[in-house]
Amino acid sequence: MHVLLVEDEKSLHEEVRQFLVESQYLVDSAFTYAEASEKIFVNSYDFVLLDLGLPGGDGLDLLREARRNEGQEASFIILTARGAIDDRVKGLDLGADDYLPKPFSLLELQSRMQAITRRKFGLKRQEMTFGAGFELDATGRTIRHAGQDVPLTKKEFDLLHYLLLHRNRVLTRLQLGEHLWGNVLEDDSDSNYIDVHIKNLRKKLSQFAPADFIETVRGIGYSIKS
């Protein structure tokens, strides 16, 4: 996957780039409006990650310009720290595929990119297998084991799905909590809801097969090993 990262803030640019490279993306960089405009015109990308406040112009204009070009197939994800509410609406109206307000979690960015890819290539049923014979159906939102449904609550499913999407990565309680609760502003970051969810997940899964693939990384978080 070929990604153009348009972000003028050098440190942030470097962090996002590093993350994407580690996640096996091919990353191209642009720091200014002109640079980005040229690269979008010349190369073909799968994704353009677009910051709105760029030196030399507004990211929204870049999006507008790109969308006028019919051959343009890149998916645009807007990344911005501008507080304005209409930016989101405007961006999506102009044809952006998604919108992530800064600060965002890199894992969240990766999940969104995966979701867009699935949409784009019409992968309706995205199934994953894990543990000893478990199957996850992301569209039907079900977990099965040997043809039998594993009954999970909505949040338990989301948690498991997120861990599976980022297999072999340690996810902190904060990252998991942020994914589950989204935009709701909570300030009890020490809440143990995640721990309780994991405990319940293990209990429910182990009624079908051993659930030792969910690992606790002490003091940090959880991960699923494959």
Partner 1 sequence: MRLEAKLALFNALSKLLLVLLGVVLIPPIMSRVAVSHTDERLREKSEQVLELIGRDGISTFVQGEEYADYNILQQEYITLTPLPAAAASPGNPPARIFDEPRQVDDKVEDFRILSQQISTNGRRYRLEIGSSLATVELLTATLRRMALWLLVVGAVLTILSDAAFAHYLLRPLHRLIVRKLQGVRHPSAFSYEPLTTTTTDFRRLDDSLNDMMHLVQSAFEKEREFMSNVSHELLTPVSILQSRFENMLQDPSLGEAHSLKLVESQKTLYRLRNTVKTLLLIANIENEQYLRDEAVSVQAVLTDVVNELEDRLAQREIQLLEDLQPDYVLPRANRTLLFTLIFNLVSNAIKYNRPAGRITVLGRPGPRGGYQLAVTDTGPGIAAAHLPHLFDRFRRFQAGASAPEGYGLGLPIARTIADFHKAKLTVESEEGRGTTFTLWLP
Q: Which residues bind partner 1 (CB under 8 A)?
A: 9, 11-12, 15-16, 18-19, 22, 53, 81-85, 101-107, 153-156, 169-170, 172, 174-175, 184-190, 193, 196-197, 217-221
Which residue number, 126 or 204, has a Cβ lying nearer to partner 1? Answer: 204
Longest dimension (CA), the chain: 59
Nearest approach in angstroms of CB 123 to partner 1 is 26
Nearest approach in angstroms of CB 24 to partner 1 is 13
Cβ contact 31:8 at 8 Å:
yes
Which residue number, 119 or 225, has a Cβ lying nearer to partner 1? Answer: 225
Crossing angle between the packed helical segments 59-68 and 85-93, to the nearest 10 degrees: 10
Nearest approach in angstroms of CB 73 to partner 1 is 27
- Report the C-alpha dihedral over residues 156, 158, 161, 167, rounded to 10 degrees: -90
Nearest approach in angstroms of CB 20 to partner 1 is 10
In angstroms, what CA-CA distances link 34 with 27, 30, 41? 18, 9, 11
Which residue number, 90 or 132, has a Cβ lying nearer to partner 1? Answer: 90
Q: What is the DSSP letter of 144?
A: E
Query: For residue 73, which amino acid is it?
Result: E
